[in-house]
A = this chain, B = another copy of it.
Amino acid sequence: MEDGRLMRSMLLDFYGELLTQRQRQCFDLHYNEDLSLSEIAEQCGVSRQGVWDNIRRAEAAMQAVEEKTGLVARFLEQQRLLSRLRDQALRLRDQTQGPARATAEELLRGIDALIGG
């Protein structure tokens, strides 16, 4: 996933519920479902310009919240640290056997749950 796309998807995940339903829908269909403005316009029964306005306002509103709170940035930094922990846990699994190896595998699953959730 390229960077702008990941960021937009994260913004929607974090702040989507702060938008109007229409803004959220247009933004989601365009950036996550990859529908064109015309396709969304047809599906939602609004003009192509209306769709674009909703997408633009949605992005501006979510960017404004992110600029103030920095919560997505904080989350991405956490994911970066978790991914480093994962490498260490993999190394540990290969360095151990018996009960220690079982603990390392448990740890690895825990890290994966955190990265995935």
Give the interface of A toward B (CB within 8 A). 14-15, 17-18, 65, 68-69, 71, 77-78, 81-82, 84-85, 88-89, 91-92, 95-96, 99-100, 103-104, 106-107, 110-111, 113-114, 117
User: 11 more A-B contacts (CB under 8 A) besides A92-B96, A96-B96?
Assistant: A14-B71, A17-B68, A18-B69, A78-B117, A81-B113, A81-B114, A92-B92, A92-B107, A95-B96, A100-B100, A107-B107
A65 to B113 CA separation, bound complex (whole angstroms): 26
Nearest CB of B to A80, in Å? 10
CB-nearest residue of chain B to A106: B88
Q: Is the CB of A88 within 8 A of B114?
A: no
Q: Is the CB of B69 within 8 A of A92?
A: no
7 tightest Cβ-Cβ pairs between the two chains A and B? A95-B100, A17-B68, A88-B107, A85-B110, A92-B103, A96-B100, A91-B103
Q: Is the CB of B107 within 8 A of A85?
A: yes
